[in-house]
Amino acid sequence: MRSLMRPVLTAAACLALAVPLVVAYPAQAAAYEPLSERGLANSSLGAGDVPRWISRGVRPEPQQTFRTGRAATAPALCLDENGGSLEGRRARQSMDSSVALRMNTDVGSYIYQYRTREEAVRAWSELNSRAARCQGRVEVDLSDDGISTRMVVNTEVSQTPPLYGTAGLTLFIDFDIVVDAFDSKFAFVGDSYVSYYLAGNSIVGVAFTSSEGSRGVGRVTRGFVDTMSIVIAQRVERRSLAS
């Protein structure tokens, strides 16, 4: 089985490396329109987007959540030097589409739609500025009501090749969490890798997250995330122009 999978994984990795080079061209000046809830849902990660090698035989069943107004979410980033969470500007509307791959592991797409293209561009600029404040290593100790928590979080921030003239943003986060509570100790070890792009009136992200105890996100998995972030961004861009 392993020998049969190797060429498939190699091909997937090559595709992931090739796609950014093919689509890295700036878009012509255009007017964008916000997508409807249905448009956001159709642009999101679907069951057919999840290959068998990453789902490991699990039938992909996306769970989609649409939020608007004050309930809408913001692009998640990392921890700052004080252990506080950093995130981007809250969207006007957001659409999450998450697929559980196995216990404590999932992949998902996240679309954060703003009122206008100009607002999306400002939100993108803010996202990159805040990402520059991500700390490479943060150690946090918390204690409350007899429960103590120690977190060690390592973060890597980088840029990816341009899409429609704007470079993407990626974050790799490795976390190690130990919780002491009521004479019991619980440990959580895992990783998260996310790739963001600006498209239409939105910031688009695709993320792979696992807390099953493994360390590191492999090259092929990163390639899948990078490629799918481009695919989702292309859907949003195309539909925003066609609206």
Confidence of residue 192 (pLDDT cuts 50, 70, 90): very high
Can you tell me the mean pLDDT for 190-214?
93
List pLDDT tens digits, range 156-170: 999 999 999 999 999
CA angle 24, 43, 211 (to 5 degrees): 90
Q: Is the pLDDT of residue 2 over 50?
A: no
Q: Residue 149: what pLDDT?
A: 86
Query: What gap in Å lies between CA 209 and CA 215, rounded to an integer?
Result: 11
Closest CA to 129 of 156, 89, 161, 166: 89
Provide the residue type at 75 as one letter. P
**Among 59-73, 163-177, 211-225, where is mean pLDDT lowest?**
211-225
Are 230 and 23 spatial neighbours (Cβ–Cβ below 8 Å)?
Answer: yes
Q: Is the pLDDT of residue 204 over 90?
A: yes
Query: What gap in Å lies between CA 148 and CA 175, rounded to an integer?
Result: 16
Whole-structure pTM value: 0.84
Query: What gap in Å lies between CA 219 and CA 156, rounded to an integer?
Result: 15
The chain-wide mean pLDDT, for the chain, equals: 86
Confidence of residue 243 (pLDDT cuts 50, 70, 90): low
Domain residue limits, the chain: 2-242
Give me the CATH topology for the region 2-242.
Protein Transport Mog1p; Chain A (3.40.1000)
Can you tell me the mean pLDDT for 203-213?
91
Can you tell me the mean pLDDT for 120-130?
98
DSSP, collapsed to helix, strand or coil, labels residue 61 as coil
List pLDDT tens digits, range 72-85: 999 999 999 888 99
